[in-house]
Amino acid sequence: MKRRRTAIVAGNWKMNFDHLEATLFVQKLAWMLKDVHFDFKKCEVAIMPSFTSLRSVQVLIESENIPIKYGAQTVSVTSQGAFTGDVSADMLAALGCSYVIVGHSERRKYHPENDANLVDQVRAVLAAGMKPVLCVGESLSERREGIELEFAVGQVNEVARDLSSEEASQMLVAYEPLWAIGTGMTATSTSAQEACKAIREYFDNTYGGETAEKIKVLYGGSVNSSNAAQLLSDCADMDGFLVGGASLDVEEFASIVRITQKLAGSFR
């Protein structure tokens, strides 16, 4: 069967790169992908820079018609007002953002982002016409208990259960087991596929097959150019990657993107 959803590789730059480094990276990536006649219809490419780089990235991408998308790493739940330091969804949409990461484990750890807050973030992102990339995944202790699937699906449920099917179908979910983030320990194909499948089944059970077929489920956690091909070809329910560390190296990121494009149209 052919993969039905367009693949996507998104680079989560976390708190790296100022606006000069960000624009230099985008120029290099665009040039490298153009050089290999990269087919963006088969694989979407996105980067998530810091807030401070978004405007510079937007100006470059729009002025040069570069088919790379971009987004933010978090968003405020409120639209305006006395919320010092916050950035609203409308502000991000006004900068041409396509995506916003919601509930990354680092945000959950270092900031008070609970489930109710994440639901509001998802709603704010959708209302502003962007797509949320909801991050879920178990820690080592849940994995040791053998409850990793229930845990990850439970996190999806906490955020998605009150959405309409129209809203839910706009979401992307990134399965990012905490023990795999920045550790060099990647999930095996078997466990990554189990989790991606369980997440898709959740949408099937809650919203029906049509919505479940639209949801893009990504994997994140020590993805690099050496493990991307194996993961993607083994995991029928995986639609791409959310890449951290390896997205900071343009050659490495371009390799992951090319591997994904090559496998995107493949049969499974």
Catalytic residues, by residue number, are 104, 176
- Tell which positions 150-179 bind ligand 13P, by CB under 6 A: 176
Piece in contact with ligand 13P (CB under 6 A), picked from 112-120, 147-155, 191-199, 244-252: 244-252
| C-beta of residue 253 within 8 angstroms of C-beta of residue 22 | no
Which of 46, 149, 171, 242 touches ligand 13P (CB under 6 A)? 242
Distance (Å, whole) CA 222 – CA 180: 6
- Residue 27 to residue 25: CA distance in whole angstroms: 5
CB of 133 to ligand 13P, least distance (A): 9
Residue 61 tokens read as: 């991408």
Please report, as residue ranges, which positions from 100 to 119 form the binding site for ligand 13P (by CB under 6 A): 104
Report the alpha-carbon distance of residue 260 to residue 172 in Å, rounded: 17
E strand residue ranges, the chain: 7-12, 43-48, 69-72, 99-102, 131-136, 172-175, 216-219, 240-243
Cβ nearer to ligand 13P, comparing 207 with 219: 219
The minimum distance between CB 156 and ligand 13P, in angstroms, equals 16
CB–CB of 12/220 below 8 Å?
yes
Residue 12 makes contact with ligand 13P by CB under 6 A: yes
Range in contact with ligand 13P (rule: CB under 6 A) among 15-23, 60-68, 86-94, 215-223: 215-223
243 binds ligand 13P (CB under 6 A): yes
Q: Which residues bind ligand 13P (CB under 6 A)?
A: 12, 104, 176, 181-182, 220-223, 242-246
